[in-house]
Chain A
Amino acid sequence: MTSKVVVDLITGAALSVQNPMITQIALLVNNDLLYAALVFALVLIAEGRNSKRMKVLLSLVIAVGLGILVKTALAEQRPCAGEAWCPTGYSFPSLHATAAFTLMIAFLNKKSYPAFLLFALFIAFTRLNLGVHIFRDIAGALPLAVMAYYITGLAWPLVEKRAGRVLDG
């Protein structure tokens, strides 16, 4: 069994699902602004404390920033490259999946975690189902999310102190 076959099996299995409702959701999520708004709304809904909301949003910014950095450095073409409908930008890693996994990791200690896990897996599935990513792009997003949340955790005491000072005038 070669590496390509297994990756292709997962990508291929996701691609083979033909469900108009899923396709509609996948196309909606494919819109960057709409997806950013959805992620932002989920943070506001799932977390009541402003401080924790800020921490999650900071980790999302770091994760997406790292993702853009890696995307630019590796400059890998999307599997759909050349098609008129294919999004611009590089393939590895998936920024949609990076954001979804970061959200998932941020709620690791919460009762709502399984819901965020399913959300992240569903977002990952929609990226494969649309044909804009391969499984490796999704898998590469998970370490970025862990790293981003870990870096946020290290930086947070300092950020919180400064933010507190600003808010206190």
Chain B
Amino acid sequence: MDKELKRQLFHMAVGLAALLVLLHFGRGFAIATAFFTIIIGTLLINLRLRGRKIPIVQWFEKEFERAGAPLPGWGSACYATGVLMLLATLSDVNEIAASIFILAIGDGVSTILGRRGRMRIPYNQEKTVEGAAAFFVSSLPALAFAGPMAVPAIALATIAETLPVLEDNLIIPVACMTFFLVF
């Protein structure tokens, strides 16, 4: 199994775990878990940046970190930040669950399938039309949480994911959050 595939499977598994924590223990518990995960995570990033050897963190870096990441654990930190943003800002558990599902599954599947795509998106040569289509289709089960309102949210998240401006793990939650706050 190549590293990117492993990375995306891990991405999806963590997202589904966050979803389970939200649905089983409630929003408050999920907020506290995400908050303290980020606090501990930044402390570990700081230790790694200062050259400390932490075997489990190094194993994660080796197995799951993308080459050229600005910081060790950068992708994970952004992911946890995106999840915390959704949990803290949205008040409807179904809207939060739909957004976490879109972030976890849509983004993961689009990366796995998008790599095999051939039609490049004109304004972002790193993304493909096939990846965007995979994002949209694989996110559709979010309808189970938010109902028909999930469709325009997924459409907006799909467009946001193709933009070359921000990290996916941040821009997808921002898109979902903005949609559910406005509508």
Q: Does A159 contact B (CB under 8 A)?
A: no
Q: Is the interface of B mostly helix, strand, loop or mixed?
A: helix
Q: Are A7 and B25 in contact (CB under 8 A)?
A: no
Task: Determine whether A74 belongs to the interface, using a CB cutoff of 8 Å to chain B.
Answer: yes
Question: Is A22 an interface position by the 8 A CB rule?
Answer: no
CB-contact partner of B31 in A108, A111, A135, under 8 A:
A135
Nearest A-chain residue to B25, judged by Cβ: A1
The answer on a CB contact under 8 Å between B43 and A114 is: yes
- Whether B29 lies near A3 (C-beta < 8 A) is yes
A134 to B116, CA, bound (A): 46
Q: Given A1-B25, A74-B89, decide whether A143 and B42 contact each other with a Cβ distance below 8 A.
A: no
Q: Using A6-B26, A108-B49, A143-B81 as known contacts, say yes or no to A73 and B31 having CB atoms under 8 A apart.
A: no
Of the candidates B27, B42, B71, B167, the one having the most CB atoms from chain A within 10 angstroms of its own CB is: B42
- Write the A83-100 contact mask toward B (1 if CB under 8 angstroms, else 0): 000000000110000000
B72-125 contacts to A (CB < 8 Å):
77-78, 81-82, 84-85, 87-89
Q: Does A150 lie within 8 Å of B167, measured CB to CB?
A: yes
- Segment of B2-10, B32-40, B53-61, B149-157 in the binding face: B32-40
Q: Does A40 contact B (CB under 8 A)?
A: no
The answer to whether B82 touches A143, judged by C-beta atoms less than 8 angstroms apart, is yes
Q: Are B42 and A2 within 8 A (Cβ)?
A: no
Q: Kindly name the residue among B25, B38, B85 whose own CB sees the greatest number of chain A CB atoms within 10 A.
A: B85
CB distance B32 to A70 under 8 Å? no
B31 contacts across to A, CB distance below 8 A: 3, 6-7, 135-136, 139
Q: How many residues of A contact B (CB 8 A)?
A: 36
Docked CA distance A93–B82 (Å): 15
Query: In the complex, what residues of A have CB within 8 A of residue B89's CB?
Result: 70, 74, 92, 140
Tally of contact residues, B, Cβ under 8 A: 35
Contacts of A146 in B (CB 8 A): 38, 77-78, 81, 170
Complex contacts, B85 vs chain A, CB 8 Å: 140, 143, 147
B contact residues around A7 at 8 Å (CB) = 28, 31-32
Interface residues as binary, B142-181 with A (CB distance below 8 Å gives 1, 0 otherwise): 0000000000000000000000011100100010000001
Chain B residues lying within 8 Å of A156, measured Cβ to Cβ, are: none
A80 beta carbon closer than 8 Å to chain B: no
Cβ of B45 < 8 Å from any Cβ of A?
Answer: yes
Nearest 6 A-B pairs (CB), nearest first? A3-B26, A3-B28, A7-B28, A140-B88, A3-B27, A143-B85
Binding site for A on B (CB under 8 A): 25-32, 34-35, 38-39, 42-43, 45-46, 49-50, 70-71, 77-78, 81-82, 84-85, 87-89, 165-167, 170, 174, 181
A-B contact pairs, 19 of them (CB 8 A): A3-B29, A3-B30, A5-B26, A7-B28, A8-B28, A110-B46, A114-B43, A135-B28, A138-B35, A139-B31, A139-B84, A139-B88, A142-B35, A142-B38, A143-B85, A146-B77, A147-B81, A147-B170, A147-B174
Partner-B contacts on A (CB < 8 A): 1-8, 10, 70, 73-74, 92-93, 104-105, 108-111, 113-114, 117, 121, 135-136, 138-140, 142-143, 146-147, 150, 153-154
